[in-house]
Structure 1
Amino acid sequence: MTLSKIINEIAYPLEDKDFREECKRILAESGALVLPKFLQPEAIKAIIQEGNAKASLAWYTQSTHNVYLTPIDPAFDTEHARNKQVTSSKGCITDDQIDKESPLRLLYDSTVFREFLASVLDEDKLYNYADSLSSINLHYASEGQELGWHFDNSSFAITLLIQKPEAGGVFEYLEDMRNADAGEMNYDGVSDVLSGKIKVKELAIEPGALVMFRGRNAIHRVTPTRGNVTRMLAVLAYNSQPGIALSEAASKTFYGRVG
């Protein structure tokens, strides 16, 4: 399958300098960039078929964590924003389980696509993960599964919505909710989000959309899936430096094994 069979090259001229600059501007201003109908219908269908065929291979996890994805700090009480626990649950198949001819693999490895991402993200170059599990993941969220409020440790995330559930599975966020580099955690603001006192934003995402998101300082979650249709989301993970692999402990937590 060629790149033109995978993505809508007419709507999204990835090599065009002006298009790249506009994408970069939107991402810088809002912390999120959504490109609707980025994937061609044929590619979406192929990925859904692969996802359904390999659903039995998925590693399912359910965990509780704080929004900062850090251990509990005894200096704060359990209901403090620093320690308050939320729930995340999902299934996942890993890079080594994705077909060699999968549209996800061909897109991930595409030089044109990778150079487009690097340009928009203002990175010199993007690299695969050094381990065999982390570069491409396909996530499954069935009835009741969700991604709790959190901040990302990485500076950017790249995802493709493959299949939308009947209800729920909504991506909610608020940008600039902390300054991680300055060590400003904004406990009061986070507490207000967790208690529902602040109106949060939603990303309107339909199947086939490419989403680039800066989640290091933007608090975000995915609401519980409702209905019989599983939410499928592809995560395309790159690094700005070569040779980076997920730690053994993290790999066992996320994937149930080490790559």
Structure 2
Amino acid sequence: MPLSDSMNKAAYPIENSDFRAECKKTLSENGALVLPNFLNGETIQAIIQEGEAKKNLAWFTQSTHNVYLTHVDNNYDTEHARNKQVSSSKGCITDDQIDPTSPLRQLYDAPLFRAFLASVLDETALYNYADNLSSINLHYASEGQELGWHFDNSSFAITLLIQKPESGGVFEYIENMRDADAGEMNYSGVSEVLAGQKKVKKLAIEPGALVLFRGRNAIHRVTPTQGKITRMLAVLAYNSQPHIALSEAASKTFYGRVK
């Protein structure tokens, strides 16, 4: 499927330098960029059909972790922000399970789309993961499943909402909650977030929306899915350097296998 057949080119002239600059400015100022209806309805339905057909292949996980996605530090007690555990649960199919003809793969591989992303993210170029699992993932969140509060290790995330649940599944975040590069973890602020004492922002995301998000210093979560409709989210993962693969340990944690 050509790129022009899957996305809303009239609304989003991704080849245009002024449009790219506008998107880059929004991402820089807000830490998030949401492009509603980036995918057209026919494309969304095709991805939903693929997702439903392959849900039985998904690796489902339920785990607890701290918001920093690090091991427990015995210098702090278990209720300290450094160690306090939150829950995450989801299902996932991996890159090698996505059809060669899937609209997700056509979009991921399209040179124009990749050049647009690189420009907005201020990266010289973007590269596929070197392993065969990580580049494209389709996530499932059935009733009660959620993504707990956390910071990302990577500097950017690119997602497409494919199917919205009846309720719940809301993306919440607070930007500038730490400075990872400076080693400032803001334990007091994180404690307030975990206690529900901080006002959060919510991203209004409907199916077909493309979202670019900088989650390295923005704490964020997805609230539990409510109702019988599974939330489906596509994650398009790129690297700023070539030949990067997910570690075996991370691969086993996320996907239950290494290849």
Question: Normalising by the residue count of structure 1, what TM-score does the alignment of the two structures yield?
Answer: 1.00
What displacement does 1:4 show? Answer: 1.2
Q: Which residue of 1 aligns with 2:141?
A: 141
Verify: 1:14 aligned to 2:14, yes or no: yes
List gaps (5 residues or longer) in structure 2: none
Q: Which residue of 2 aligns with 1:195?
A: 195
Q: Which residue of 2 aligns with 1:77?
A: 77
Question: Do the aligned residues in 2 keep the contact of 1:5 with 1:42 (CA within 8 Å)?
Answer: no
What displacement does 1:55 show? Answer: 0.3
| Distance of 1:59 and 1:196 partners within structure 2 | 31
State the AA in 2 paired with 1:178. R
What displacement does 1:191 show? Answer: 0.4
What SS does the corresponding residue of 1:44 show, helix, strand or coil? helix
What SS does the corresponding residue of 1:107 show, helix, strand or coil? helix
What displacement does 1:13 show? Answer: 0.4
What displacement does 1:201 show? Answer: 0.4
Q: Which residue of 1 aligns with 2:181?
A: 181
Verify: 1:104 aligned to 2:111, yes or no: no
Which aligned runs of 4 or more in structure 1 are off by greater than 2 angstroms? none
What SS does the corresponding residue of 2:75 show, helix, strand or coil? coil
| Distance of 1:30 and 1:168 partners within structure 2 | 23
| Distance of 1:239 and 1:2 partners within structure 2 | 24
| Distance of 2:145 and 2:174 partners within structure 1 | 21
State the AA in 2 paired with 1:148. G
What displacement does 1:2 show? Answer: 1.3
Q: Which residue of 1 aligns with 2:56?
A: 56
| Distance of 1:92 and 1:17 partners within structure 2 | 35
Q: Which residue of 2 aligns with 1:66?
A: 66
Verify: 1:159 aligned to 2:182, yes or no: no
What displacement does 1:5 show? Answer: 1.2
Question: Equivalent residues in 2 for 1:235-254 (5 A)?
Answer: 235-254=235-254
Q: Which residue of 1 aligns with 2:257?
A: 257
| Distance of 2:97 and 2:194 partners within structure 1 | 36
| Distance of 1:172 and 1:70 partners within structure 2 | 21
What SS does the corresponding residue of 1:113 show, helix, strand or coil? helix
List gaps (5 residues or longer) in structure 1: none
Q: Which residue of 2 aligns with 1:2?
A: 2
| Distance of 2:85 and 2:23 partners within structure 1 | 35
| Distance of 1:175 and 1:15 partners within structure 2 | 29
What SS does the corresponding residue of 2:258 show, helix, strand or coil? coil
What SS does the corresponding residue of 1:234 show, helix, strand or coil? strand
Q: Which residue of 2 aligns with 1:47?
A: 47
Aligned residues between the structures: 259
Superposition CA RMSD, Å: 0.4
Give per-residue Cα distances to partners, 1:222-250, cap 9 Å, x unaligned: 00000000000000000000000000011
| Distance of 1:80 and 1:39 partners within structure 2 | 42
Q: Which residue of 2 aligns with 1:205?
A: 205
| Distance of 2:199 and 2:252 partners within structure 1 | 36
Q: What is the aligned-residue identity percentage?
A: 79
| Distance of 1:110 and 1:4 partners within structure 2 | 10
| Distance of 2:256 and 2:223 partners within structure 1 | 24
Question: Do the aligned residues in 2 keep the contact of 1:61 with 1:90 (CA within 8 Å)?
Answer: yes
Question: Normalising by the residue count of structure 2, what TM-score does the alignment of the two structures yield?
Answer: 1.00
